[in-house]
Amino acid sequence: MDNRELWEMAKKVLKFSYSPYSNFPVGAALLTKSGKVYLGTNIENSSYGLTICAERVAIFKAVSEGEREFLKMVIVDREGEGLFPCGGCRQVMAEFSLDMEIVLYDSIKNEFNAWKVKELLPLNFSLRRE
Ligand code: THU
């Protein structure tokens, strides 16, 4: 599964984003080590603080189906442009896969760039000892 395919899938689910308050739909496509893809969109709420980001929806869908090892995630906005995950999502990513790559499309340079979760959230909080 290459970056462009995941990007296309993340763009496709933007239409399912429930974001009437921000009007800022976000799509995420998560590739697991087992080769499956889980898609997510942001889901907002009248009680704004209950909003959940697209990245966490994709991760929680995957974890709730038995997946815990992730290779990469592509995140897109309405233009297909990449956006960096919020701090809360970085912590959730760090729980499962510090080596996962966050792949973002740069429309100006027409290229994909990647950062590992451990680069985006160095010195993360963890109770796990491995
Ligand atoms: N959002 C995401 O889905 N992912 C991010 O990484 C940042 C923000 C959503 C939350 C909210 O629905 C909207 O974007 C505006 O903040």
- Domains annotated for the chain, with CATH where assigned, are 3-120 (3.40.140.10)
**Per-residue pLDDT band at 129 (split at 50, 70, 90):** confident
CB of 17 shorter than 6 A to ligand 1: no
pLDDT of 130 > 70? The answer is no
- Residue 9: enclosing H or E segment and its boundaries? helix 3-12
Considering 44, 55, 69, 111, which one is annotated as catalytic? Answer: 55
- Check residue 119 and give its pLDDT: 98
pLDDT of 55 > 80? The answer is yes
The pair of structure tokens assigned to 92 is 């959730």
* Rounded Cα distance, 122 and 27, in Å: 24
Q: What is the pLDDT of residues 56-114, one digit of tens each?
A: 999 999 999 999 999 999 999 999 999 999 999 999 999 999 999 999 999 999 999 99
List residues bridging with 31 in a β-sheet: 37, 72
- Check residue 1 and give its pLDDT: 86
Distances 106 to 3, 19, 33, 57 between C-alpha atoms, Å: 12, 23, 25, 23
Which of 21, 22, 50 for mutating ligand 1's site (highest number of atoms within 8 Å of CB)? 22
Q: Strand, helix or coil at 41?
A: strand
Q: What is the pLDDT of residues 6-52, one digit of tens each?
A: 999 999 999 999 999 999 999 999 999 999 999 999 999 999 999 99
- Check residue 60 and give its pLDDT: 98
Q: Is 55 a catalytic residue?
A: yes
